A and B are shown apart, each in its own frame.
Chain A
Amino acid sequence: MARVVVDVMLKPEILDPQGQAIAGACSRLGFEGIEQVRQGKRFEVEVEGEVDEAKLADVRRLAETLLANTVIENFEVRPA
Chain B
Amino acid sequence: MTARVGVVTFPGSLDDKDAARAVSLAGAEPVALWHADADLKGVDAVVLPGGFSYGDYLRCGAIARFAPLMSELVPAARSGALPVLGICNGFQILCESHLLPGALTRNSSLRFVNRDQVLRVENARTAWTNGYTEGQEILVVLKSGEGSYVADEETLDRLEAEGRVIARYVGGNPNGSRRDIAGITNEHGNVVGLMPHPEHAVEALTGPSTEGLGFFTSILSHLAAGAPAHA
Contacts and interface: CB of A to CB of B under 8 A. Distances in A.
A69 B103 contact: yes
Contacts of B103: 69, 71-72
B58 interface: yes
Contacts of A13: 152
A21 interface: yes
A17 B150 contact: no
A70 B53 CA distance: 20
B107 interface: yes
Interface in A58-74: 66-67, 69, 71-72
B136 interface: no
Contacts of A21: 110
Contacts of B62: 66, 69
A14 interface: yes
Given A14-B105, A14-B150, A15-B150, A69 B110 contact: no
Nearest to A13: B152
Q: How large is the interface on B (under 10, 10 to 19, 20 to 34, 35 or more residues)?
A: 20 to 34
Interface-central residue, A13, A66, A71, by most chain B CB under 10 Å? A71
Contacts of B59: 69
A17 B110 contact: yes
A66 B58 contact: yes
Given A66-B58, A69-B59, A17 B102 contact: no
B208 interface: no
A18 interface: yes
A21 to B, nearest CB: 6
B110 A15 contact: no
B112 interface: no
A76 B214 CA distance: 45
A67 B62 CA distance: 9
Contacts of B95: 71
Contacts of B34: none
A66 B148 CA distance: 21
Contacts of A71: 95, 101-103, 151
Contacts of A72: 103, 105, 150
A6 to B, nearest CB: 12
A72 B102 CA distance: 8
A14 B107 CA distance: 12
B58 A15 contact: no
19 contacts: A10-B105, A14-B105, A15-B105, A15-B148, A15-B150, A15-B176, A17-B107, A17-B109, A17-B176, A21-B110, A66-B66, A69-B59, A69-B96, A69-B103, A71-B95, A71-B103, A72-B103, A72-B105, A72-B150
Interface of B: 58-59, 62, 66, 95-96, 101-103, 105-110, 148, 150-152, 176
Interface of A: 10, 13-15, 17-18, 21, 66-67, 69, 71-72
Q: What are the 3 tightest A-B residue pairs by CB atom distance, in nearest-first order?
A: A72-B103, A71-B103, A17-B110
